[in-house]
Every structure is written in C-alpha cells, then in structure tokens.
Amino acid sequence: MTYPTRQAPRAADVRALGRSLSECRACPRLVDWREETARVKRPAFRDWDYWARPVPGFGPADARMLLVGLAPAAHGGNRTGRMFTGDRAGDVLVAALHDLGLASQPTSTHSGDGLQLYGVRFTSPVHCAPPANKPTPAERDTCRPWLVRELELLRPTLRTVVALGAFGWQAVLPVLGEGGWSLPRPRPAFAHGARLELPPTRRGGAPLAVHGCYHVTQRNTFTGRLTPAMLRDVLRTAALEAGLPARTAP
C-alpha cells in the first residue's frame, strides 16, 4: 500500500515521484473506477491494454511553466498512461502548445508517440480518473501530497502556473502557499484570463505568476466558450512571462 503522505516526500526527483505515485491505491473509489473502466473499455479501444493506474505528471524536470488540470480522463490518460494524451482535451492543448513552439508535434496519442514539451509540464491535483470526471474533496486532499512534492521539486525553475479550470485553480493555490509562495487574502476567485503574482516566502526564491484559463473540456471547446485563440493567448502570455520563447501563433 502506498501512502501519499509518507511516500511523496521521499521522492528525490520527478521521475522517482512518478514511479511512486503510479503505485498508489489510497482512494478505493478511484481504484475501482479506473480498473473497471480498463476492463469494460470503449469499443474503439477494445484492443488497448489500459494503463489503469495513477497518471504521473509529464514534461521536463526543469520546467518553467506548469499546466494544472483536473484529473486524467477515463479513456485518455487512464488508457495511455500519460497526462492529456489520447482524448480531445489533449488534442486541443497540445495543438496550441505546438502552435507556440512549446511542443514537438501537434498531437498526443500514446506514450510512445515521441511528444516532447519544451519548458512546459503537465500535472493535476488528482492523478486517477474519477467517475463522471468529478473527484471528491476527500480524494483531492488525499492526492495532495503528490502535487506538493512535485511543486517542491520544480520550484528552482518554475516561474508560471496555468490553472485549467476552477478545480485546478482552487486546488493548486493552497499547495503553492505551502510550497514557498505567499497567497493574497482573500484568495481571488477563478476567472479566464485571471493573473496572480505570488511573492516568494523563502530566501532566494523567485516570484510565481498564476494564470487562469478555462479547461480544455469538449464542452468548452465545442461550444466556443474556449476557442483555440483564447487558449493560445493565455499560454503564450504565461510562457513569455516564464522566459520561454513562445512564438506568435499562426
């Protein structure tokens, strides 16, 4: 049995963190759902051997920009074993990063497809696919030590965070408060295009900018609530602020 409060602080780097995280079985409801989804499968993926485990963050260990989502998709990350991979949300997000020169290719289909992110990393507050894509507050809190440790490991280089959706915004802010940055009071509400600058609380630390962006769900992208141009604008602003050479999208 992997206990996040015990195992997460022991990870020496993000690779070790991912290995430890992928063995976690701390939330019975999420374990049952991710494994049931892998047994039942969708007809389109009947030949797939699903990952069906917690999905680690993805991207370089010295990332300057962190994208925080909600949780892996049941037939996306839970199937492929990589965050924002194998579903519509990943298609939209990776295409936007590629347009900006921050990803090596415009698609994210499976873990061996050659995708590389440049200065950018993906993670989420909950690392298992939840039923109806809705983790409980208790599941979020149980998973929290993994995010706390990931941010600690990224702190030397991290300069911006993009919270995708209100859940990511609400989940990551208290973790940043623990991780070496000062939060305003009261905490600002999520909004697309919102920006916070968090001063460091530790000597030698650097300020961190937090940007809000609507999540890349099918509901948001199909209805036009989040357009590709809107997504690229937030990502480009955050990337330039992080010191990444984001180009102007076509």
Inside any domain, residue 249: no
Inside any domain, residue 123: yes
Residue 154: give its domain's CATH number: 3.40.470.10
Structural domain that includes position 107: 4-241
Inside any domain, residue 248: no
The pTM of the full predicted model, rounded to 2 decimals, is 0.96
Residue labelled with tokens 């430890």: 20
* Averaged pLDDT, 38-42: 95
CA atoms within 13 Å, Cβ hemisphere of 75: 13
The length of the chain, given as a count of residues = 250
Residue-wise pLDDT for 194-219, tens only, equals 999 999 998 888 999 999 999 999 99
Q: How many Å is the Cα radius of gyration of the chain?
A: 17
* pLDDT at 195 (0 to 100): 97
Band of pLDDT at residue 129, cut at 50, 70 and 90: very high
The 3-class SS string of 61-110 reads CCCCEEEECCCCCCCCHHHHCCCCCCCHHHHHHHHHHHHCCCECCCCCCC
Inside any domain, residue 247: no
Inside any domain, residue 22: yes
Rounded to whole angstroms, the Cα distance separating 141 from 90 reads: 25
77, 58 contact by CB (below 8 A): no
Inside any domain, residue 187: yes
Tally of domains in the chain: 1
Inside any domain, residue 206: yes
Inside any domain, residue 250: no
